[in-house]
Structure 1
Amino acid sequence: MERIGLIAGNGRLPFLFASAARAQGLDVVVVAHRGEVDPALAAEVSSLTWVRLGQVDRILKIFREAGVTRAAMAGGIGRVRALTEARPDLGAVRILSRLRSVRDDALLRAVADYFESHGVTIVAPTDWLAQALCPEGHLAGPRLHPAQEKDVALGREVATLLGQADVGQTVIVRNGNVLALEAVEGTDEAIRRGGKYGGAGAVVVKRCKPGQDLRFDLPAVGPRTLAVMQEVGARVLALEVGRTVLLDAPELFRNADKAGITVVGIP
């Protein structure tokens, strides 16, 4: 059986990828980042080995010993954890020494190049998860009213600028005011901050960075995102079509309908 590697982070995406890869006849070999990955993933794959963030050469060794020549990155790494708990090995030091910038895209591309130079090609997880990408149009909840449509348009514009700066992917807007921008704290905390400053009724817009490498760091939302929105009274979740991963989409849509939260796919 052909093997594929999975460099796993937090959230549901590693589970979705593992399930889809197995369904296509692949043996899934996982390296899982400590403190990020749900240990239950071990029951869903052929093998799982724990690593610390920054152990690049260790990951390569695990894959090469398992005969893995292709691997995908799936799941997030908490940025605060990345700043405080990384344990870079010699491979990571070599990568960092060649970088002018350690922003997300530049760093991940450099990591992918390093892996490929050592015989492991990094592929896009969405090659196996096309069915999980956000479709276009109204997906759940009430229809947008004109004021919300304007907030979505503003959120798209600001998210584009935020992405160009390689800072984050999420913008929270209400009544023409930008309430919060995602940075190191991640999507959930950005939504909470937007709710704190703007009260109920906020619009959450999430989109890819312009020119984003689709092999890693795609926007992803799921039922947990919706639960945070309910917590602060946010009313709209607007997502980029074809480039946002929907985690457990049926549950997400059911919960949105029950909560009266609009979910919409925007081109």
Structure 2
Amino acid sequence: MDRIGLIAGNGRLPFLFARAARKKGLEVVAVAHRGETDPALAAEVDRLTWVRVGQVDRIQKAFREAGVKQAVMAGGIGRVRALAEARPDLGAVRIISRLRSFRDDALLRAVASDFESRGVTIIAPTDFLGEVLCPEGHLAGPRLHPAQEKDVALGREVAMLLGQADVGQTVVVHNGHVLALEAVEGTDEAILRGGRLGGNSGAVVVKRCKPQQDLRFDLPAVGPHTLEVMQEVGARVLALEVGRTVLLDAPALFAGAESRGITIVGVP
């Protein structure tokens, strides 16, 4: 393999993947989504094609013309934007017509299956980025006190149930009360809503994989921006699943947590 495809969404993960792949000597053929992907990605890849959300055939054509046989999905697509601004082409209709469920995992697996039927195998971006996965233990900020440990345990239990329903990956807890569950609005809005309901004082944010998570796509991810959102509502703890949460710019994440007095822990 001398080239790899990148189906890029928003955030920093497409950048991290592109740099890691090029360090391995691979040509990176990227497809970016208008309104989602940072245009600066163009400087990090060898080829870039812009599409709108839902234009499956255009992505496959770009890969076919470039001779891409393997590709990754890196970065999110805002679900509210996807619902409002999607421009499905015949490829998307082909995939949707086979679905029994429109939940995230079923849809992403169907997309991967369709690409594979056309000669492009979807692999995990973390195959190239193992170093960005969350390690175990106390990672930054003050040590947890007993009440926070209980909130982390409650958040993980509820997050597992939320994931089983294929709804979201984030739960906000405070003093034994579940304040917010992530749904279509995304992580940031869930944190803001939960933190405000908790009186802007000490909420615990828990992120974990869905039990049935396909590790090729949609892994939980946090970065320095997550801390900014937490600080806005006084959230004090960020608990992450070990080996299944992506840390975007970990040095800045840990330094930011220390300066803000926010605890980050990796929980197995």
Coarse TM-score class (shorter-chain normalised):
over 0.9
- Tell me the equivalent position of 1:25: 25
1:149-188 mapped onto 2 (5 Å cutoff): 149-188=149-188
Distance of 1:171 and 1:195 partners within structure 2 = 11
1:61-76 mapped onto 2 (5 Å cutoff): 61-76=61-76
Question: What fraction of aligned residue pairs are identical, expressed as a percent?
Answer: 83
Distance of 2:82 and 2:188 partners within structure 1 = 17
Distance of 1:196 and 1:174 partners within structure 2 = 11
Distance of 2:258 and 2:193 partners within structure 1 = 24
How big is each residue's C-alpha offset from its partner over 1:151-195, in whole Å with a ceiling of 9 and x where there is no partner?
000000000000000000000000000000000110000000011
- Tell me the equivalent position of 1:221: 222
Where 1:237 maps in the other structure, the secondary structure is strand
Counterpart code for 2:128: W
TM-superposed CA distance for 1:91, in Å, is: 1.1
Where 2:108 maps in the other structure, the secondary structure is helix
Distance of 1:53 and 1:2 partners within structure 2 = 27
How big is each residue's C-alpha offset from its partner over 1:44-85, in whole Å with a ceiling of 9 and x where there is no partner?
110111001111111000001001000000000000001011
Q: Are residue 230 (structure 1) and residue 231 (structure 2) matched?
A: yes
1:236-255 mapped onto 2 (5 Å cutoff): 236-255=237-256
Q: Are residue 56 (structure 1) and residue 44 (structure 2) matched?
A: no
- Tell me the equivalent position of 2:266: 265
Distance of 2:260 and 2:216 partners within structure 1 = 33
- Tell me the equivalent position of 1:3: 3
Distance of 2:196 and 2:233 partners within structure 1 = 7
- Tell me the equivalent position of 1:212: 213
How big is each residue's C-alpha offset from its partner over 1:121-159, in whole Å with a ceiling of 9 and x where there is no partner?
000000001000000000000000000000000000000
What is the RMSD computed on CA atoms of the aligned residues? 0.7
Distance of 1:36 and 1:196 partners within structure 2 = 27
Distance of 1:167 and 1:105 partners within structure 2 = 10
What's the TM-score, normalizing by structure 2? 0.99
Where 2:53 maps in the other structure, the secondary structure is coil
What's the TM-score, normalizing by structure 1? 0.99
How big is each residue's C-alpha offset from its partner over 1:11-61, in whole Å with a ceiling of 9 and x where there is no partner?
000000001111111110100000000000001110111001111111000
Counterpart code for 1:262: T
- Tell me the equivalent position of 2:16: 16
TM-superposed CA distance for 1:92, in Å, is: 0.8
- Tell me the equivalent position of 1:147: 147
Counterpart code for 1:27: E
Distance of 1:45 and 1:56 partners within structure 2 = 20
Distance of 1:265 and 1:164 partners within structure 2 = 21
- Tell me the equivalent position of 1:124: 124
- Tell me the equivalent position of 1:85: 85
Counterpart code for 2:50: W
TM-superposed CA distance for 1:211, in Å, is: 1.7
How big is each residue's C-alpha offset from its partner over 1:74-122, in whole Å with a ceiling of 9 and x where there is no partner?
0000000010111111111011011111100000000000000000000
Distance of 2:256 and 2:84 partners within structure 1 = 35
TM-superposed CA distance for 1:219, in Å, is: 0.2
Distance of 2:152 and 2:106 partners within structure 1 = 29
Q: Which runs of 4+ in 1 moved over 6 A?
A: none
Counterpart code for 1:9: G
1:78-117 mapped onto 2 (5 Å cutoff): 78-117=78-117
